[in-house]
Copies of this chain bind each other. A is one copy, B any other.
Amino acid sequence: MPETGVRLHSAGFVNGAHVLAVRVYYEDTDAAGVVYHASFLRFADRARTEMLRDLGATGVAPMANEGLGFVVRHCSADFLKPGRLNDLLEVHSRFLEVGGASVTAAQTVKRDGADLVCMQLTLVCTTPAGRPARLPPELWTLLRDAGAQTVRD
């Protein structure tokens, strides 16, 4: 029996973009034999979560402490090529702009260097009750330092 170690599903930053590897399982596909379109939004959500985690606890902890979260306000997606069962995809994520209470992100799902799906999202920071809230300053700084342009919103 093989005794393998840590493997698969890497995450990290490459040239300023965060990259998360995502394997395609049966749950992600549909009877057309390809990845169901809404599954790509789930993959992008996972990638944003891991990107924030990788950006470090100093920025994200204040959000968690205050019960703040990000909700998707807008999403635009171009589905260019189908994904397939067993594909090992990569989600490349960048935060483009950071405002007082929102961020925009560009995310591309790739396979072997080819773009499958390109997404642009606007996320709003909200309180547990769903009200818009200002980003904690530590997180705002972190996103700016990670390359996001600062804007007013």
Contact = CB atoms under 8 A, between A and B. Distances in A.
For this chain, the copies found in one complex come to 4
Interface in A25-44: 25-27, 29-34, 36-39, 41-42
A127 to B, nearest CB: 11
B34 A27 contact: no
A27 to B, nearest CB: 5
A72 B145 CA distance: 36
Given A9-B9, A72-B79, A25 B3 contact: no
A26 B16 contact: no
A77 B74 CA distance: 6
A76 interface: yes
Contacts of A84: 31
